[in-house]
């Protein structure tokens, strides 16, 4: 199971389409390859078996034809041997005068040879020789060389057979078959009277008997006697008169009645088929090259390979089609999920397939439509919630704050008769107008800073503080749109808590700058007592603090939440502070102007 799981894990490193195509190809190539190899081997074996049978039959027919031809020469030799006048001439040669000898020679030419006129074109030479070597009759144009003549006569005299077949060469170098017939005395008084020596034209003999036979392209036929001498051959690999060497693979067949084996001659493979003729002690040998034997096998192999290639191509196309029908919808599904991850919830997959992937695509579309619908419902709910929250905030003017402020103004007017009372009342009226009368959710940065200035004036009247406010904002940023009550709660928190117990003159600095073309950063800094990390965390997690002292019940956490709800999680509020080192509160929001709002609309 472990190995199985590892194989599965390894295979899943490649794409689905690749795995499917490779699997299809493997499942087609392996069976087709096995079938092809078995078919080729079986056909090659069948061709070799049929070639073996065919070659044996051909050689048998050729051997019969050769025997028939040999029979003609032996019959002619019988006529010479049985002729009474030739017998008398061999026996009484010493008592014959020149006239008698000439008369006998004319008789042989006029009677014996003319009766066998067919033999004249075939024989190169014909000699009738006395036992002691003297010539009784000599005919022909191609006498054997003395070396070959002596060799053949020595062999014939040693042989117990009446006929001796061998080879020789004429004085002009032409090869010939030789038949030496021992001529015995017919009256039984002398065993041997002389010899008949026939020199037969080897090329004509081969043409008459076997040279026209065809065992196949490139095949060769040759005749070898029992001692390994080449009697007849039409191939350049062997020459007439050549004796097979011991290392020659044909040498091992001598002494075997019928031979069928594979040999290698001159770096080429041959199939050897040979039959032995007992009466002549000859081997008729057929050499069939493997290039011919394998030609048909190669044709079959090419056909098999072509069929396999076509099947593989068809399989590849089919595999590509099927794998594409699986991989393409999966790629579409993967691309759709990537778009969803990128925030596009309106993605739909166009897949009309009726399979499992088509069903999955249908369910994906239904799921995305449902998710989009739910998100839209949530957005609408959040919008209603923000509207309700803003309405509530605008209506939540703290009565305690209003009472305390008016009471402070009253006593200030009684005791000091200062102009600060008028300033305080004017600031209060302007602040109430901005919070209660103006129902807009967003205001310009300029309007928000004006509310802060009014709020600071009121606080100065209430507590008699010398709070200093400074602004570092470019004019072009004053028309940027921000959420109402975005900065006021932060300034209020600094006044109420940031300067408690601090003996230096309180100062609040408000600055703004563009981070890029789409982001606006606003920083509210004070030189108050600062705070530690725990206090910062508490401040960010709380929405309302000391509601009786505040203009509205809006805490620092509420400001951050409003930013996230309205603009997204990439915007927000960050507090940077350390004890006794003041506090910097950084707000990051989108940079929105009236022109951008109009374009959005």
Q: Which residues contact 89 (CB under 8 A, 6 or more apart)?
A: 96, 101, 104, 136
pLDDT at 514: 92
- Mean pLDDT over each residue of the chain, to the nearest integer: 81
What is residue 459's three-state secondary structure? helix
What is the CATH number for 225?
A: 3.30.450.20
The dihedral over CA atoms of 487, 488, 494, 496, expressed in degrees to the nearest 10, equals: -160
pLDDT at 554: 67
Q: How far apart are CA 428 and CA 580, in angstroms?
A: 32
Answer whether residue 209 is part of any domain: no
Q: Which residues contact 508 (CB under 8 A, 6 or more apart)?
A: 456, 467, 468, 469, 470, 491, 494, 495, 524, 525, 526
Q: How far apart are CA 38 and CA 588, in angstroms?
A: 79
565 and 492 in a single domain? The answer is yes
483 and 568 in a single domain? The answer is yes
Question: Do residues 361 and 351 touch, judged by C-beta distance below 8 A?
Answer: yes
99-158 pLDDT, tens digit per residue, is: 988 999 899 888 888 888 777 788 888 889 988 888 888 888 778 888 888 888 888 888
The dihedral over CA atoms of 163, 169, 171, 174, expressed in degrees to the nearest 10, equals: 120
pLDDT at 485: 84
pLDDT at 599: 45
461 and 570 in a single domain? The answer is yes
256-299 pLDDT, tens digit per residue, is: 878 888 888 878 888 888 888 888 888 888 888 888 777 777 77
pLDDT at 422: 66
What is the domain extent for residue 389? 345-394
Asked whether the predicted pLDDT for residue 369 surpasses 80, the reply is yes
Asked whether the predicted pLDDT for residue 558 surpasses 80, the reply is yes
Q: How far apart are CA 130 and CA 197, in angstroms?
A: 11
Answer whether residue 381 is part of any domain: yes
CA nearest 553: which of 399, 434, 334?
399
* 418 or 367, greater pLDDT: 367
Q: Name the least confident of 322-326, 491-495, 595-599.
A: 595-599
575 and 452 in a single domain? The answer is yes
First-to-last CA distance in the chain? 63
Q: How far apart are CA 76 and CA 181, in angstroms?
A: 10
389 and 458 in a single domain? The answer is no
CA nearest 28: which of 306, 300, 299, 319?
319
278 and 375 in a single domain? The answer is no
Q: How far apart are CA 594 and CA 575, in angstroms?
A: 29
Most confidently modeled range among 345-354, 419-428, 547-556:
345-354
Asked whether the predicted pLDDT for residue 532 surpasses 80, the reply is yes
What is the CATH number for 490?
A: 3.30.565.10
* Pairing of the two strands 468-472 and 507-516: parallel
How remote is the C-alpha of 467 from its chain's centroid?
Answer: 80
Asked whether the predicted pLDDT for residue 513 surpasses 90, the reply is yes
Question: Do residues 554 and 489 touch, judged by C-beta distance below 8 A?
Answer: yes
pLDDT at 433: 67
243 and 375 in a single domain? The answer is no
Query: Which one of 379, 394, 409 terminates a domain?
Result: 394
Q: How far apart are CA 219 and CA 295, in angstroms?
A: 13
Q: Which residues contact 139 (CB under 8 A, 6 or more apart)?
A: 109, 113, 123, 125, 126, 127
Answer whether residue 335 is part of any domain: no
Q: Which residues contact 270 (CB under 8 A, 6 or more apart)?
A: 262, 263, 264, 287, 288, 289, 290
456 and 581 in a single domain? The answer is yes
In terms of pTM, does the model score above 0.85? Answer: no
Please spell the DSSP secondary structure of 405-425, one letter per residue. HHHHHHHHHHHH--THHHHHH
Number of domains in the chain: 3
> Average of pLDDT values for 326-354?
81
579 and 447 in a single domain? The answer is yes
pLDDT at 480: 93
579 and 469 in a single domain? The answer is yes
390 and 444 in a single domain? The answer is no
What is residue 76's three-state secondary structure? helix
CA nearest 119: which of 167, 80, 173?
80
> Average of pLDDT values for 300-328?
82
What's 135's DSSP letter? E
* 226 or 75, greater pLDDT: 75
Query: Which one of 234, 266, 294 terminates a domain?
Result: 294
* Pairing of the two strands 268-277 and 282-289: antiparallel
Structure tokens at 581: 């080192």
Structure tokens at 471: 């602004």
């Amino acid at each position: 199971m472990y190995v199985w799981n590892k194989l599965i894990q390894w295979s899943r490193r490649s794409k689905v389409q690749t795995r499917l195509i490779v699997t299809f190809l493997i499942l087609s190539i392996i069976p087709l390859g096995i079938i092809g190899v078995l078919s080729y081997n079986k056909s090659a074996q069948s061709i070799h078996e049929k070639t073996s049978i065919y070659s044996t039959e051909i050689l048998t027919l050729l051997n019969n034809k050769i025997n028939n031809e040999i029979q003609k020469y032996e019959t002619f030799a019988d006529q010479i041997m049985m002729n009474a006048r030739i017998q008398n001439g061999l026996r009484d040669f010493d008592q014959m005068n020149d006239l008698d000898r000439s008369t006998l020679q004319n008789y042989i030419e006029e009677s014996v040879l003319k009766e066998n006129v067919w033999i004249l074109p075939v024989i190169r030479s014909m000699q009738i020789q006395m036992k002691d070597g003297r010539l009784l009759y000599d005919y022909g144009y191609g006498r054997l060389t003395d070396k070959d003549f002596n060799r053949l006569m020595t062999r014939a005299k040693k042989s117990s057979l009446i006929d001796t077949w061998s080879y020789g060469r004429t004085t002009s170098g032409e090869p010939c078959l030789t038949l030496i017939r021992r001529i015995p005395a017919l009256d039984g008084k002398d065993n041997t009277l002389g010899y008949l020596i026939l020199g037969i034209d080897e090329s004509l003999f081969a043409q008459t008997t076997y040279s026209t036979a065809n065992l196949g392209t490139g095949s060769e036929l040759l005749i070898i006697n029992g001692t390994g001498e080449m009697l007849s051959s039409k191939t350049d690999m062997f020459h007439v008169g050549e004796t097979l060497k011991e290392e020659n693979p044909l040498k091992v067949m001598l002494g075997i009645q019928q031979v069928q084996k594979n040999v290698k001659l001159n770096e080429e493979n041959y199939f050897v088929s040979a039959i032995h003729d007992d009466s002549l002690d000859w081997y008729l040998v057929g050499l069939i090259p493997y290039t011919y034997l394998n030609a048909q096998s190669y044709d079959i192999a090419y056909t098999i390979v072509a069929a396999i290639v076509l099947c593989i191509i068809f399989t590849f196309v089919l595999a590509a089609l099927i794998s594409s029908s699986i991989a393409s919808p999966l790629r579409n599904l993967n691309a759709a999920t990537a778009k969803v991850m990128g925030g596009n919830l309106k993605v739909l997959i166009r897949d009309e397939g009726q399979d499992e992937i088509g069903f999955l695509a249908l369910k994906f579309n239904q799921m995305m439509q449902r998710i989009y619908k739910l998100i839209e419902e949530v957005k609408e709910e959040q919008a209603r919630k923000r509207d309700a929250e803003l309405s509530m905030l605008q209506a939540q003017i703290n009565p305690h704050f209003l009472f305390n402020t008016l009471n402070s103004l009253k006593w200030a007017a009684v005791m000091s008769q200062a102009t600060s009372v008028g300033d305080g009342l004017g600031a209060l009226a302007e602040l109430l107008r901005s919070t209660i009368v103006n129902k807009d959710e967003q205001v310009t940065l300029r309007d928000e800073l004006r509310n802060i200035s009014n709020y600071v004036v009121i606080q100065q009247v209430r507590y008699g503080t010398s709070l200093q406010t400074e602004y570092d904002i470019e004019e072009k940023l004053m028309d940027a749109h921000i959420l109402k009550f975005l900065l006021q709660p932060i300034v209020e928190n600094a006044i109420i808590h940031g300067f408690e117990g601090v003996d230096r003159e309180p100062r609040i600095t408000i600055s703004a700058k563009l981070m890029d073309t789409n982001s606006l950063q606003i920083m509210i800094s004070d030189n108050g007592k600062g705070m530690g990390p725990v206090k910062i965390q508490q401040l960010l997690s709380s929405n309302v603090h000391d509601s009786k002292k505040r203009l509205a019940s809006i805490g620092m956490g509420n400001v951050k939440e409003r930013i996230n709800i309205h603009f997204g999680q990439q915007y927000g509020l960050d507090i940077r502070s350390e004890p006794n080192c003041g506090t910097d509160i950084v707000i990051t929001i989108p940079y929105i102007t009236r022109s951008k709002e109009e374009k959005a609309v």
